[in-house]
């Protein structure tokens, strides 16, 4: 009942209109009000501004300028091991598991499909059958820029229109297919260990989602699915490079192909992570092939070895 009371009102409000208003409000430049609001926000959420490149509230032109602040170069060290997958964002790993053929777990009693999450792109979804996924929730106190979790080449971006429910734990437990229902950006990449997708999920009062290669995607909001092909663009990222940002709290869903990572599902619910922190180990496809060949050879040897009885 508590979760219901926290979420039912979201069905009743004009989600996109309110989010557009919040975006306008957070980008409004006011020399005396902005520092005051930032100080209250820092105090409320216990934010460490000493990590930011600009440490003083007076240095920000608007609340959104503060909210999407950049950090000092040494504030988030990137794990340097070539075989590690790092967190693309600050936040909490709210869910991580194997993908059960094409089904992802949202919460107890709720599942959603790969096809729904990636906007109906069946060919893209097929690449992640029986793979692994992780959901990272960014609260209002977190750093809100998204970074590459490994070296990757950008293949495509899809804007999927949808609702703008909140993505806090109560809503996740209450609204069916939340991450496949909300507005989102589906970012498809090629890595040395196989395909990878990052889904930036919008939410109520998330006034803006943007990427470093295309700029601001929302607002304005659209009712039409939009697709950008970057296969021949040559856009690539090194592990830890910035790829996009949110305004206000939201969620990133990571998709990895079968046998391409290990250790990702070992994280318990609500594990805190920081951008650049190692969260899994990458598995080279050739290593998997060699392992399978070795298993086949051992099986053949076992079958042909004469009995000693």
* Active site members: 90, 147, 250
Please state, in angstroms and as integers, the Cα–Cα distance from residue 170 to each residue in 2, 45, 182, 205, 267, following that order.
8, 19, 15, 16, 20
Please state, in angstroms and as integers, the Cα–Cα distance from residue 83 to each residue in 90, 155, 284, following that order.
20, 22, 9
β partners of residue 306 = none
CB-CB contact of 93 with 58 (8 Å): no
User: Cα(261)–Cα(98) distance, rounded to whole angstroms?
Assistant: 11
Which H or E element spans position 57? none
282-309 burial, b for 16+ CB within 10 Å, e for fewer? bbeeeeeeeeeeeeeeeeeeeeeeeeee
Give the count of alpha carbons within 13 A of 146, CB side only.
Answer: 26
DSSP letter for each residue of 99-146: -BTTEEEEETTEEEEHHHHTTT-HHHHHTTTT-EEEEEEEPTTS--EE
Residue 253's nearest CA partner among 190, 181, 191 is: 181
């Amino acid at each position: 009942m508590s979760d219901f009371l926290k979420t039912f009102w979201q069905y009743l409000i004009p989600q996109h209109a309110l989010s557009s208003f919040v975006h306008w409000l957070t980008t409004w430049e006011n020399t005396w009000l902005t520092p005051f609001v930032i100080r209250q926000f820092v105090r409320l959420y216990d934010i460490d501004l000493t990590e930011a490149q600009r440490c003083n509230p007076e240095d920000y032109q608007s609340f959104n300028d503060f909210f999407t602040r950049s950090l000092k170069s040494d504030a988030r060290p990137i794990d340097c091991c070539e075989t590690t997958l790092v967190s693309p964002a600050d936040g909490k790993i709210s869910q991580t598991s194997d993908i059960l053929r094409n089904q992802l777990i949202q919460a107890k009693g709720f599942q959603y499909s790969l096809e729904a999450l990636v906007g109906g792109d069946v060919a893209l979804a097929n690449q992640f059958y029986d793979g692994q996924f992780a959901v990272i929730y960014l609260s209002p106190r977190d750093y809100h820029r998204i970074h590459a979790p490994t070296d990757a080449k950008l293949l495509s971006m899809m804007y999927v229109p949808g609702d703008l429910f909140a993505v806090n734990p109560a809503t996740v437990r209450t609204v069916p297919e939340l991450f496949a229902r909300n507005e989102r950006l589906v970012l498809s990449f090629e890595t040395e260990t196989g395909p990878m997708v990052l889904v930036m999920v919008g939410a109520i009062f998330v006034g803006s989602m943007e990427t470093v290669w295309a700029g601001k995607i929302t607002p304005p909001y659209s009712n039409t699915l939009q697709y950008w092909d970057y296969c021949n663009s040559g856009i690539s990222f090194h592990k830890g490079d910035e790829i996009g940002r949110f305004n206000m709290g939201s969620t990133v869903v990571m998709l990895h192909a079968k046998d391409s990572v290990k250790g990702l599902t070992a994280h318990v619910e609500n594990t805190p992570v920081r951008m650049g922190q190692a969260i899994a180990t990458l598995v080279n496809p050739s290593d998997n092939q060699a392992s399978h060949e070795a298993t086949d050879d051992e099986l053949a040897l076992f079958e042909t070895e004469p009995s000693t009885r």
